Amino acid sequence: MNLQSPTTAVKASPLLALAIAVASPAMAEPPYSLSANIGAVSNYLWRGTSQTDDGPAIQGGVDFAHESGFYAGTWASNVDFGAGGANYELDLYAGYDFALPTEGASLGLNTIYYAYPDDGGDIDFWEIGLSGGYEFFSAGIQYTVWGDDDNEDAPFDQGDLYYYAGLDFPLPNDFGLGLSTGYYDFDDDQVDVGGGMTESADYWHWGVSISREAGDYGTFSFNYEQNDGGGDGNVWDDDPKIWIGWNKEF
pLDDT of residue 151: 61
Q: Which stretch of 35-39, 80-84, 96-100, 191-195 has the lowest confidence by average pLDDT?
A: 191-195
Residues 47-99: tens digit of each pLDDT: 999 999 999 999 999 999 999 999 999 999 999 998 888 999 999 999 999 99
Q: Is residue 8 a contact partner of residue 90, using CB atoms and an 8 Å limit? A: no
Q: Is residue 164 a contact partner of residue 184, using CB atoms and an 8 Å limit? A: no
Q: 14-249, which class in CATH?
A: mainly beta
pLDDT at 217 over 80: yes
Phi and psi based region of residue 87 (left: phi greater than 0; alpha: psi -120 to 50; beta: remaining): alpha
Q: Which stretch of 7-21, 125-139, 182-196 has the lowest confidence by average pLDDT?
A: 7-21
Phi (first) and psi of residue 61, to 5 degrees: -165, 175
pLDDT at 11 over 90: no
Where is pLDDT greater, at 231 or 94? 94
Answer yes or no: pTM beyond 0.95: no
pLDDT of residue 191: 81
pLDDT at 21 over 60: no
Strands, E assignment, the chain: 32-41, 45-46, 49-50, 57-66, 70-78, 88-97, 105-115, 125-134, 137-147, 161-171, 175-185, 190-194, 197-200, 203-213, 219-227, 241-249
pLDDT of residue 29: 59
Domain ranges in the chain are: 14-249
Residue 122 confidence class, pLDDT cut points 50, 70, 90: confident
Q: How far apart are CA 79 and CA 201, in angstroms?
A: 21
pLDDT at 107 over 50: yes
pLDDT at 18 over 60: no
Give the number of other CB atoms < 10 A from CB of residue 237.
16
Residue 121 confidence class, pLDDT cut points 50, 70, 90: low
Compute CA distances 54 → 46, 99, 202, whole Å.
12, 39, 21
Where is pLDDT greater, at 182 or 155? 182
